[in-house]
A = this chain, B = another copy of it.
Amino acid sequence: INEFPSDDEYHPSQGWRPQPHHLSKEQLWERIREEAQYDAASEPALASNLYSTILAHNSMEKTMSFLLANKLANPTMLGMQLMRLIQQAYDDDPGLMEAALADLQAVYDRDPACDKYSQAMLYFKGFQAVQCHRVAHWLWSKGRKPLALAFQSRMSEAFHVDIHPAAQIGRGILIDHATGVVIGETAVVGDNVSMLHHVTLGGSGTERGKRHPTIDHGVLLGAGVTVLGPITVGAGSKVGAGSVVVNDIPCHAVAVGVPARIIKRDLIKEPVK
């Protein structure tokens, strides 16, 4: 099933791998600052926001900590405290920022309505929700479960995206539009996964243990797709909008319908779009 067109040709279903056109961390940070400077000059109404969120900081980590803390802050969770906490997570685990940069590149590459990196970072709640999840998952892995659950709750309020902090999420993730996305406690999402709004990776039954889906590398889940139970959607597959998936989907297949049925196989042999 996993036979690739050729040994040296890369396919997203193989997992995240930097591509020749991808920017390095330094290039990305430089580009984002340039974009912010340009927009602040051309649009005074945005200048103060762009200055305080991007131009006042000297690293992606500080900018992201400021940005996410501002989104999550409320009268009982102070912005300053959240900012320190998120900065601490980035300091402790550099993998969090590597994954954030991969996500930023993914949004830029895959969303035709996005033509600036700063646009994805500042304005896309799917991108912001995934970065908050990465911090919540870090808290969860450190045994700080009550705070991780508080993060989940604030994310659900602020971004309308409900990801359990225990869920495992890969790199290069695009959650487009994002409203209504739900990802359960034992779900596993691979690299290069794209999903639209209203996607549910839900549990079946009320048992504990693995009860949510595994979504392999390079999968595309259309708007409103519901995947239920400890099943697997294989690498490189696509599920059409509105489908309900209750059985395994093989790699490189297309599935649609309620319940989903497979309408195409061996996508891998087609040219990558």
Interface positions of A (Cβ within 8 A of B) = 39, 42-43, 45-46, 48-49, 52-53, 70, 75-78, 81, 85, 110-113, 119, 122-125, 144, 146-147, 149-150, 152-153, 156-160, 162, 164, 177, 179-180, 182, 184-185, 196-198, 200, 202-203, 205-208, 211, 222-224, 226, 228, 240-244, 256-259, 273
Q: Which residues in B have their C-beta under 8 angstroms from that of A259?
A: 256
A177-B185 contact in complex given A241-B228, A242-B226, A273-B205, C-beta closer than 8 Å: no
| Cβ A112 vs Cβ B207 within 8 A | yes
A49 to B85, CA, bound (A): 16
Q: How far is the CB of A76 from chain B (nearest CB, A)?
A: 4
A144 to B150, CA, bound (A): 34
| Cβ B81 vs Cβ A70 within 8 A | no
Q: How far is the CB of A157 from chain B (nearest CB, A)?
A: 6
Q: Which residues in B have their C-beta under 8 angstroms from that of A43?
A: 144, 146-147
Q: Which residues in B have their C-beta under 8 angstroms from that of A224?
A: 198, 200, 224, 226, 242
Besides the contacts A112-B203, A112-B208, what 4 more A-B pairs have beta carbons closer than 8 Å? A42-B146, A46-B150, A123-B149, A177-B182
Identity of the chain B residue whose Cβ is nearest the Cβ of A49 in the assembled complex: B76
Q: Which residues in B have their C-beta under 8 angstroms from that of A152?
A: 123
| Cβ B200 vs Cβ A180 within 8 A | no
| Cβ A39 vs Cβ B146 within 8 A | yes
A196 to B226, CA, bound (A): 12
A157-B158 contact in complex given A197-B182, A208-B112, A242-B258, C-beta closer than 8 Å: yes
A152 to B198, CA, bound (A): 18
Q: Which residues in B have their C-beta under 8 angstroms from that of A208?
A: 112
Q: Which residues in B have their C-beta under 8 angstroms from that of A77?
A: 45, 49
